[in-house]
Every structure is written in C-alpha cells, then in structure tokens.
Amino acid sequence: MDNSSSGGGEIETVQPPVTAPNPTRRTVRTKVPEIEIHLYRQGKGPIDVFKESLGGWEQDQLEVRDILEKYGFKSVFAFAPESGRGVPIRFNPRNGRSLLPYKDGSVIYIDGEPKDSLIKPITRILFGVAMITLLITLVTRETPDWIRRLNVFGAGNFPPWILACMVIVFMRMRKRTKDFLKKYGL
C-alpha cells in the first residue's frame, strides 16, 4: 500500500492518558439464585438446613450430585414432612444437575436414601455359612453312608463348611439368574 496519497504516511501510536493511582472501580454484582433445602435421612430429621445456589445455563437447576456425594446418599426424593416421601429427584448423569427447574427463593424438602454398606451383606453371608456349617456338623457326626457309596468326593471325608458354601453360592446364583432372566423378558 502506498501511503503517499493520504498525506501523512506514518502511523502514530497514542499513549493512554495517565489516571490517578486509585481509580474508583464500578462493579455490577448479580444475585446468584438460591434455594433453601431441608434435608432428611430416611424420613428422619431434618439432618441439615442449608442454602444451595442453583446452576445451569438458566441458573434454575439444583446440583443433585454434590448433595449425594456430600451426605453419602445413593438417591434423593421429594419429601413432605406431613405425608412422607414422594417421587425421586432425577438428574442428568453427565453434569449432575436436576432435570426439573427450581425458582429462586424456594424452600424444598428432600429425603435421602443412604448408600448400602458392604459390611452388612458380607456379615450376613459369613453368618449364614457359619450357621449352615454348625447345623451340618450337629446333624451328621460322620459322613453319611450314601455319600461314601457314591464316592463323589474322593476319600469320603467331606468338610461340612464346603457344603455350606456351595449351598449359599447356589442360592445366590439362582436369585441373580432369575433377576437376569426377568430383565431380558425370558
């Protein structure tokens, strides 16, 4: 480009004006929408009352996954102290926000279902194995004659706790297989 026809041909740089060292700043603050939550555990409580800010594009969705993680729940339900638990509060699995919108300033009641402990089912299984083993040893002091004749287990000396484990595993597999078949309509 030829700048000779415009008259000046040079580019000037302009320095910004020097301002006072402590200028007054103007900031605009918008109120973050919040709701008040009364949280119950299995209908008992409230265990906590707190304000939760709403999220999402339109700032109208509850952060359900955060509540589940903070309080150790596997699911939360709408709740009315007079009538009890209502419908489950559904949330998007990707972002953890509620599917239904909430209004700013609302007061909601939530009932949470705690996560299942692994200790309880393991304790039940071990207790079941111990009880079946005890019953088998009390009923049969020695290996039954028909087991010796069949010679199914080699030498004939078969520990009762193995039989108890086999019974429990069989019962658990039968139940799970039945649920599996129902799931696929068979």
DSSP E strand boundaries for the chain: 34-41, 44-53, 73-80, 84-88, 107-114
Helix axes 119-139, 160-183, angle to 10 degrees: 130
For 15-36, what is each residue's pLDDT tens digit?
A: 656 555 555 677 667 788 999 9
Is residue 85 within 8 Å of 15, Cβ to Cβ?
A: no
CA distance 75 to 118: 17
Cross-strand pairs, 113: 75
Q: pTM of the full predicted structure?
A: 0.52
Residue extents of the structural domains in the chain: 34-114, 119-183
For 90-146, what is each residue's pLDDT tens digit?
A: 999 999 999 999 999 999 999 999 987 777 777 777 787 777 776 776 676 666 566
Q: What is the pLDDT of residue 182?
A: 62
